[in-house]
Amino acid sequence: MDQLEQLKQMTTVVADTGDIDAIRTFQPVDATTNPSLLLKASQDEKYAPLLEKARQYAASQGGSQEEQLANMCDYLAVLIGREITQIVPGRVSTEVDARLSFNTRGTVEKAKRLLDLYQQQGVDASRVLIKIASTWEGIEAARELEKAGINCNLTLLFGFSQAQACADAGVFLISPFVGRILDWHKAREPQADFALDNDPGVQSVSRIYRYYKNHDYDTIVMGASFRNIGEIQSLAGCDRLTISPALLKELSETNAPLDRRLSPESRSDDAQEQLDEQSFRWAMNGDAMATEKLAEGIRNFAADQVKLEKLLAG
């Protein structure tokens, strides 16, 4: 078996793309999207009919130009998500506007809006994960949504305190980033050896996974944002891994044996701790990497959201 087939035997493989053809090729269980992936997909001619449907829908709803743009983006995300659910057997993650990252109430309302649009398209709520940035406000929104039976995927997760707070909130799934953590450390220590188990992103996800298993949290750990297949190989056995089409292809072309690196029996050195808002913010303040990468990720997703709106408006 190639390494993609081997990986699928121990980890649920998720496609990190909005490209329908790539999802069909690699046959993942789930798929994730974000504003950057939707922007890329929207620039592909094959998605032109979906863009036109989104424009027509927004026009039918009326409202200000700002309201119509928001409706276009929401509807387009749902249309692409619906197409994905017709290919994958599992779930699709659809992201809340990053500009709501510090607005708990706005995030809850947008999540319910997206889910309502999915249901209008005949997609059951059980097939959708609402993707939210792992700010304190986002985690609190997820806590409320989970209680209402709306499952969430907490993204832009870089720090251990974010993972602790998400588990305490009963979040369905988290997406701790690997490659972006590596980027931050390489920029500061360009000569350091970050290969294999020395990769700080791999170390971060492994620590979170062990903490969750050791303390019996049900929250799913889905490693994300990979720079190379070595990071994926080092996390084989993680609950889920969301992987770009390029790296899925590389795994499918690699035939060496793939060893399991993480298992539910993994032990953690971290004592269980519940964080209130003050302790969460203090822990984040002490983690320069997590603070900087979270802020950068929100800015970048918000910028791509604005670009997507301009594309749709045009």
DSSP, collapsed to helix, strand or coil, labels residue 275 as coil
Is 204 in contact with 175 (CB distance < 8 Å)? no
Residues 6+ apart with CB under 8 A from 106: 100
For residue 245, how far is the Cα from the chain centroid?
A: 15
Q: Which two tokens stand for residue 120?
A: 């209008």
Q: Which two tokens stand for residue 72?
A: 């276009």
Is 251 in contact with 2 (CB distance < 8 Å)? yes
Long-range contacts of 123-126 (CB under 8 A, 24+ apart): 123/78, 123/81, 123/82, 123/85, 125/149, 125/150, 125/151, 126/91
Q: Which two tokens stand for residue 191?
A: 């000569």
Kindly name the residue from 40, 53, 112, 131 that is annotated as catalytic: 131
| 74 HSE (CA, 13 A, CB side) | 24
Q: Which residues pair with 176 in a beta bridge?
A: 157
| 255 HSE (CA, 13 A, CB side) | 1
Q: Where are the beta strands (DSSP E) in the chain?
A: 12-16, 30-32, 92-95, 128-133, 152-157, 173-176, 220-223, 240-243
131 given a catalytic annotation: yes
Is 237 in contact with 261 (CB distance < 8 Å)? yes
- DSSP for 61-73, please give it: H---HHHHHHHHH
Write out the catalytic residue numbers.
131
